[in-house]
Structure 1
Amino acid sequence: MKDTTRDTKALERELEEELHSTGYGTYILVWLGLIGLTAITVTVAGLNLGSFALIAALIIATVKSALVVNYFMHIKFDTPIFKIFVTICIIVVLTIFIITFFDYLYREPLI
């Protein structure tokens, strides 16, 4: 006798994957958005914004990375525990970057 609960769960997973699959149109729109944001980044880099150029570039890069993670890595359709895990990893990496930047900012000159 076959285990019907195992077959049912496998079928449910397959149906869920089909429901969450995005079409080519979504990927093309995300790709066009990434190209547009890259053009904005290059334009902002050419402007004389001083220290705000770096802030603008980081904000645009954050939006671009969110698009890539959500659509191309399919985090948007994953289970909540996986989303929490990815969020914790991002927070840890950002914390390490911030600590490094502050260390560099307040370091005494060697000469």
Structure 2
Amino acid sequence: MADTPEAIKKSVRTYLIVFLALIVGTILTVLVAEWSVLDFGKHGFDTVDCVIGLTIATIKATLVAAIFMHLNHEKKAVYWLFGSGLCMVCSLAFLTALAMKDPIHDNLFYGKESMTPKMLASPTHR
């Protein structure tokens, strides 16, 4: 922690720089989503714009965690815990994407046994 007036001035300066970087990041995220000048990829909000927005959000979250939550002064064990949490989130996202690419094709899941009487009575399911 800051004990001297010089250290306090230095930490206040750091907090202000991070605060301004967060404001710029927020404005940049909104501009990427709204302005057609910064529209990368296809017209409208698409995958490229989403990746850019998530990259900006990741940088902002890292700044908040490192500076305001003081993770830049923590021990290695905290970094291992934080990194393992990120690995878990990435693996769960990968498993979700994998499940979306390989849907269930089972008669008991999508067959006539799982349909309601109203669905069975419709002419498209006969």
Superposition CA RMSD, Å: 2.5
Match of 1:89?
85
Match of 1:32?
20
Measured after TM superposition, the shift of residue 36 of structure 1 is: 0.2
- Summarize the Cα distance change of 1:95–1:44 in structure 2 as closer, same or farther, 3 Å threshold: same
Which sections of structure 2, spanning at least 5 residues, go unmatched?
41-45, 105-109, 111-126
CA distance in 2, matches of 1:52, 1:83: 30
Measured after TM superposition, the shift of residue 94 of structure 1 is: 2.2
Q: Give the alignment of 1:1-111 within 5 angstroms.
A: 17-18=1-2, 23-46=11-34, 47=36, 48-49=39-40, 50-107=46-103
Larger Rg: 2
Counterpart code for 2:92: I
CA distance in 2, matches of 1:40, 1:88: 30
Higher helix share: 1
CA deviation vs aligned residue, 1:88-110 (integer Å, no higher than 9, x gap): 111112221232234335547x8
CA distance in 1, matches of 2:86, 2:28: 24
TM-score (norm 2): 0.63
TM-score (norm 1): 0.70
State the number of aligned residues. 94
Which sections of structure 1, spanning at least 5 residues, go unmatched?
1-16
Secondary structure of the structure 1 residue equivalent to 2:97: helix
